[in-house]
A and B are shown apart, each in its own frame.
Chain A
């Protein structure tokens, strides 16, 4: 069935029939009149409201209606005067938040926000709003006798904006989207904002030095920064979790792809220096690696030693420097290997960063479709190894160092060696892998930190 245009418009106009029939409108009107009584117009504002001239008859009818409300208004004023200035009528004023202009500004914001559907832009927009809140707080404070109420409101809005940001990110993340970049950007903006707040309130200290509330303000500043940092930390934590879920950092130095390191210390910091010479096509390369070995306090019984690794009784500290020259442009670097008898006594720990608390070992038992991956947990960070707060150790592997998309089964780590056999591999293919240490549920400082080993590779048999 088709309608013609006029039927359509008639149908639409019928909606106008949905109109309030009881006296609610009059009740509201009385309250508005009451409100008006406490906000009288001044002469200057007389011409503020411009009303189009209504037809004469309509005007008469309206005038008649007004006469009724005038009575109501007068009586309200009388009552208010009798009861006193702070009568209940003022309560309605308090419920109108802030400044009228504030509402208009928020309107613009809301509309902008409502029209924006992209969550990333929404998050950025909220950050921008938060900045405006800070600006508003500054403006409020700079007024001669500002109301704490207004300040509180701006502050609440400020906090709300930041919470919104975090909520958007939560939603995005649970929706399975990659939010790394967004989180980084937002964390950056928040840092800027922190500076801005600090500057803003530094200025203010000078401006309002004579006011009693200066001290209060300084405390307020700390409060804003606290809120900001709280939200920032939340973002940062999310970022950590994201990177713990398989977002890989760039693989190590420039040589990782051309280097096969089969040493006991593959995690050594290898410093590569390129020095200028005139004699070769490619610059000669000097490799410097430092080996720090802490001797054990007492003799430790060794467990089964994986091939390629060794427990050593080492010198206190060794530094090795080698210089390699290459014309072909391909440099193969062997990180210095300490060879001692495998029946040594003691444990090796590499006192570098936390990431050194476990060491990846070369793969063993490499067959056509399977291999055994090995790692040694050597650190003593309770969050990972304490029996009460067991974490997990497992391997990530894949066809490219940037895409370790498969995961081996996991084990609870204790100090010592770990091996996992992975299968279902393609023959004659290079696989990259690394070990991952997942923290246990501990209140330790490291409880949110996943640890990743260096990436190694092996080639399955053909």
Chain B
């Protein structure tokens, strides 16, 4: 017997697991770690949903997608803490990610324009990079990005607009 909640949760898994693991992978640049973190993300999300503690009896998960991203980001930070890295060092991490190829074999790759990524995308300010990745790679809505980053919707829009402008002009 499968409950409605379980059904919804598994649906959410099918829908978001691929994005979550990619998101994590971009930040930790290690496939095994990315898998572990993805698994823990979903387990934590489920634990939250089924928790019986009084403290969050009334908490509801309204947007499973941002909820999952939030947990995943948390776990990524934990991961870097454990490794004695500076947390949220997205700049460093991403630069490393993009050039590491050994582990990307298991990931399929469309014809990526390496020059575009290395010369333009990676040179964006950290904040811009994160938001534009959320928008176009992770397909999050403006509202969802706003929830995740704590910025207002219009601020997010402005950042996306500026990022594209920078990407266009950078040579």
Residue positions of A touching B, CB distance < 8 A: 1-5, 8-9, 11-22, 24-25, 28-29, 31-33, 35-36, 39-42, 44-51, 54, 62, 65-66, 69-70, 73, 92, 95-96, 99-101, 103-104, 106-107, 110-111, 113-115
User: Digit string of B122-143 for contact with A (CB within 8 Å is 1, else 0)?
Assistant: 0000000000110011010000
Name the distance in Å between A19's Cβ and chain B's nearest Cβ.
Answer: 5
Please, which residues of chain A bring their CB within 8 A of the CB of B139? 16
- Given A28-B42, A29-B17, A15 and B137 contact (CB-CB distance below 8 Å): yes
Please, which residues of chain A bring their CB within 8 A of the CB of B83? none
Please, which residues of chain B bring their CB within 8 A of the CB of A106? 74, 78
Please, which residues of chain B bring their CB within 8 A of the CB of A2? 168-169, 171
Please, which residues of chain A bring their CB within 8 A of the CB of B133? 12, 15
Q: Is the CB of B43 within 8 A of A18?
A: no
Q: Is the CB of A51 within 8 A of B10?
A: no
Q: Is the CB of B46 within 8 A of A35?
A: yes
Interface centre among A1, A28, A42 (most CB of B within 10 A): A28
Q: Is the CB of A107 within 8 A of B62?
A: no
Name the distance in Å between B136's Cβ and chain A's nearest Cβ.
Answer: 4
B157 within 8 A of A: no
Name the distance in Å between B80's Cβ and chain A's nearest Cβ.
Answer: 9
Interface centre among B7, B35, B39 (most CB of A within 10 A): B39
Q: Is the CB of A100 within 8 A of B3?
A: no
User: Digit string of B5-41 for contact with A (CB within 8 Å is 1, else 0)?
Assistant: 1111111111101100110010000000001001110
Q: Is the CB of A101 within 8 A of B112?
A: no
CA distance A12 to B163 in the complex (A): 12
Please, which residues of chain A bring their CB within 8 A of the CB of B17? 25, 28-29
Name the distance in Å between A135's Cβ and chain B's nearest Cβ.
Answer: 14
Q: Is the CB of A46 within 8 A of B3?
A: yes
- Given A14-B113, A18-B104, A46 and B5 contact (CB-CB distance below 8 Å): yes
Name the distance in Å between B114's Cβ and chain A's nearest Cβ.
Answer: 11
Q: Is the CB of A73 within 8 A of B2?
A: yes
CA distance A95 to B43 in the complex (A): 10
CA distance A57 to B42 in the complex (A): 25
CA distance A122 to B57 in the complex (A): 33
Q: Is the CB of A51 within 8 A of B74?
A: no
Residue of A nearest to B73 (CB): A107
Which parts of B78-134 form the interface with A (CB within 8 Å)? 78, 81, 87-88, 104, 106-113, 116-117, 121, 132-133
Name the distance in Å between A130's Cβ and chain B's nearest Cβ.
Answer: 15
List 9 A-B pairs, Cβ < 8 Å.
A18-B22, A18-B107, A28-B42, A48-B50, A50-B60, A54-B11, A96-B43, A104-B48, A111-B88
Please, which residues of chain B bring their CB within 8 A of the CB of A92? 43
Please, which residues of chain B bring their CB within 8 A of the CB of A62? 11, 14-15
CA distance A252 to B51 in the complex (A): 64
Please, which residues of chain B bring their CB within 8 A of the CB of A103? 44, 71, 74
B47, B64, B108: which contacts A21 (Cβ < 8 A)? B108
Q: Is the CB of A100 within 8 A of B51?
A: yes
Please, which residues of chain B bring their CB within 8 A of the CB of A14? 110-113
Q: Is the CB of A31 within 8 A of B39?
A: yes
Q: Is the CB of A111 within 8 A of B42?
A: no
Please, which residues of chain A bring their CB within 8 A of the CB of B3? 41, 46
Residue of A nearest to B139 (CB): A16
Q: Is the CB of B71 within 8 A of A32?
A: no
Q: Is the CB of A21 within 8 A of B171?
A: no
CA distance A196 to B80 in the complex (A): 31
Residue of B nearest to A73 (CB): B2
B70 within 8 A of A: yes
Q: Is the CB of B21 within 8 A of A20?
A: yes
Please, which residues of chain B bring their CB within 8 A of the CB of A24? 21, 35, 106
- Given A3-B168, A107-B71, A110-B78, A21 and B106 contact (CB-CB distance below 8 Å): yes
Residue of A nearest to B136 (CB): A12
Q: Is the CB of A32 within 8 A of B39?
A: yes
Q: Is the CB of B167 within 8 A of A8?
A: yes
CA distance A5 to B163 in the complex (A): 10
Task: Please list the 10 inter-chain residue pairs (A to B) with the smallest Cβ-Cβ separation, ordered nearest first.
Answer: A114-B88, A17-B110, A107-B74, A12-B136, A110-B77, A100-B48, A114-B87, A51-B8, A32-B42, A100-B47
Q: Is the CB of B77 within 8 A of A107?
A: yes
